[in-house]
Chains A and B, each alone.
Chain A
Amino acid sequence: MFSFYQTIAENWSDWWPRLSHAAWITIYVTALSFVVAFAIGLALEFMRTRSSVAIRLTAQIYILTLRGVPILVVLYLLYFALPGYGVIISALTAGVIGLGAVHGAFLAEVFRAGLRSVSPGQREAAQAVGLSPFQTFSLILFPQAIKIVLPPLLVGFISLLKDSAICALIAVPELMLAARAIMAETFLPMHVFVLVGVFYFGIAFPASLLVRALEKRLTRGSTNKSSLETGDILPVARLDGVGR
């Protein structure tokens, strides 16, 4: 076990600049594609609330398709297949667009759940005072829904961070690619990948904890329905001992 850390320490001066540079690219790709996903998700959800069947159907087909296909396929299509049709984009652009396009479909579902949680009376009231559909959405519904969608948005961000690793497979110079390059030179896969794993974990785990804290706060604010059900003060029962 000691030699494991020793090996890392010995290689630190070589690895650190390469990994830290690649880590920034991972963060850059994640942040950028999150913005893209957010915009696509909102647009899709807005489309799904329109009255035109064609618009709603387009959004629905987009969501179903992009949710049913691996990100890797989307990245390959963007990066390897598009040039065949005369569209040449960099690996990084392909990565950001691909991740954003797929995660946008997921975020559309998140937004939908959030908007549904806003009572229908809110929409009616907004329309009654003469707000346009876009104004109703952006001024009335969205600000109320955002509180509820914050935890699932963060979950989306975490999975986007993890999925950004897939960009290594189209040679975006992000963290996993750097790690693989180092592995190929040194053949110290365990060392490099564990190190990289620690980096991802260092960002994703605090975010996961934050999600849980936000969810807790959200459920605490709402009325406690379980007290009605048990007719009791503490809605906690355990199987191990003797009840609550």
Chain B
Amino acid sequence: MNYETIGPIAQALLAGVVVTVEVSIGALFIAVVWGGLLASLRFLYPSRMLDLAISTYVEIFRNIPTLTHLLIVYFGLAYFGVTLPSLAAAILALGLIGGAVMADVFRAGFQAVPIGQTEAALATGLPPLLTFRLVIFPQALRIILPPSGNYAVGLVKDTSLVAAISAPEIMFNARQIVNVSFQTGLVYGTAAMIYLALTFLLTALFYALERKAAY
């Protein structure tokens, strides 16, 4: 093993970690806010039109590969004159996909709150919006923590595909450094370890959140 190459390798991979984390956080934020909003609207104002619109969105984003969406957002939008930097395109595409996932997660969460909870709230004279905000939503949040954690772990892994649109995250940098150092096994093996550490950390974080949210 050539120890002179370890420095640059570590440097490149760590720089990649920063971008990976940025993309993950950005996409997670969009996914939670956008997905939560869609599911809340759908729950509060049930209508055939809204249902159709939201489920069309959800199905399109859930039944087409992440890579395809990434390339559509990055190259496809550029064709129509909307040029996004690769990082923004990555966050947008992963966020939109995540929005579809989280919309379903939130929906299942709202539906899992027992009906008696809603009935008790309405019976005391709470109007529907307050019933949703104070009784259903807080309980649903706890229910959706485990599937949200699964989604977040999947998201971190999916950020590796962003390499395909040249966002300088872990895998992109790994590829670059392999091209000059030829330490293929070392570099990709280290990348694997980094992802493992990231996903373990995230899993532990969500586990702690679940413990904290238990009542």
Contacts and interface: CB of A to CB of B under 8 A. Distances in A.
Contacts of B191: 73, 76
Contact of B192 (A77, A201, A204): A77
Query: Which of A73, A80, A189, A236 gathers the greatest number of chain B CB atoms within 10 Å?
Result: A73
Contact of B72 (A65, A189, A230, A236): A189
A200 interface: yes
A63 to B, nearest CB: 13
A69 interface: yes
A71 B64 contact: no
Count class of interface residues, chain B = 35 or more
Contact of A237 (B118, B171, B175, B200): B118
B65 A190 contact: no
Interface in B96-133: 114-116, 118-119, 122, 128, 131-132
Nearest to A187: B79
Interface residues of A, number: 52
B33 interface: no
A84 B184 contact: yes
Interface string A3-41: 000000000000000000000000000000000000000
Which 5 pairs between the two chains have the least Cβ-Cβ distance? A189-B75, A204-B63, A165-B65, A190-B76, A70-B160
Interface of A: 65, 67-74, 76-77, 80-81, 83-85, 158, 161-166, 168-169, 176, 179-180, 183, 187-190, 193-194, 196-197, 200-201, 204-205, 208, 226, 229-230, 235-240, 243
Interface of B: 43-46, 59-60, 62-69, 71-72, 75-80, 114-116, 118-119, 122, 128, 131-132, 136, 153, 157-161, 163-164, 171, 174-175, 178, 184-185, 188-189, 191-192, 195-196, 199-200, 203
